Structure 1
Amino acid sequence: MVVFVLLAVSAGICVGLSRQVNGRLALSGSPMQASFWNHIVGFGALTLVGLIVGGLLPPAEADIPVWAWFGGPIGVVFVASGSWLIARIGAANTALLVIAGQMVTGVVLDMITGAPGNLLPRVAGVVLILCGMALTNRRPGQKRP
């Protein structure tokens, strides 16, 4: 279990770092250019790893639904919007809002698919993330409305 936790934390660190790098790249051009180069370089890296390790192509008998191929275009929106946002609202706010969006999507998908578990802790997690964002945006001496 510890290995899985460390792998997940490492993946989160990579996401945070890639947002910063893409945000800097977007400042030199546009979010679309940053997304384009992110995906081109990522494609090259994945191709190299795939050629070394193997397993890039799905088995011919794989029954893959059409909607399963939309991860790429969704990733383009994710990278381009993250590149644009990070320069405008900062790394912490971008990360918190992205995580909040992921949590909301996860809760909705769990409800739709009937995943086991209690819904209340998941909703509470989303609320806590949004509270965290509110705290990071609070300035010293700022009065409450």
Structure 2
Amino acid sequence: MNLLFPLLALLGGAAVAIQSQINGGLGKKVGVLEASLISFGVGTIALLFIVLFWGKGNLLSVTDVPKWQLIGGLLGAFFVVVTVLVVPKIGVAPALIGIVAGQIIIGAIVDHFGLFGGQRIPINIQKVAAIALLFASLYLFNHK
């Protein structure tokens, strides 16, 4: 099995944890929405340079995609606003447990029904047990 993609996913998760704390601190100084805008702005500029120098796609093809596929940016902005707001209040780990739980639950539903053009991967008892354990960890992390 190729370990490259699971390792990249692990690094992506690590980046989200670090980003959450950094953005939470930024939000305390400049405001929640302002920090979210700054974070997205810096990311947009970085991606612009990456696309200019290494991009191989066609940005103009955006006019040919189904319009609902363009909401990904809105969902990303919502995610950043939520982390900027929540992390300073409950901490990185509890916030990320909630985020990961939400991702896995919705991901399992998307897979089960093959939503948004994805492959249909049915939910089984093992996945239901894993989701139940996620809720247990969410409770234990936030219970005092």
TM-score normalised per structure 2: 0.86
Give the AA of the match of 2:12: A
Gap regions ≥5 residues in structure 1:
140-145
| Sequence identity percentage | 28
Instruction: Give me the CA root mean square deviation.
Output: 2.0
SS in 1 for 2:120: coil
Deviations 1:4-27 (A, max 9, x none): 121111111011111111001011
Contact 2:97/2:137 (<8 A) preserved: yes
Deviations 1:12-60 (A, max 9, x none): 1011111111001011122101110001000010011111102353464
TM-score normalised per structure 1: 0.86
For the pair shown, the structure with the greater C-alpha radius of gyration is 1
Determine the structure 1 residue equivalent to 2:130.
Answer: 125
Structure 1's consecutive aligned runs of 4 or more residues displaced over 6 angstroms after TM superposition are none
Please state how far the C-alpha of 1:76 moved relative to its aligned partner.
Answer: 0.9
Contact 2:24/2:83 (<8 A) preserved: yes
Contact 2:21/2:87 (<8 A) preserved: yes
Gap regions ≥5 residues in structure 2:
none
Give the AA of the match of 1:133: L
Larger relative helix fraction: 2
How many residue pairs match? The answer is 139
Contact 1:19/1:83 (<8 A) preserved: yes
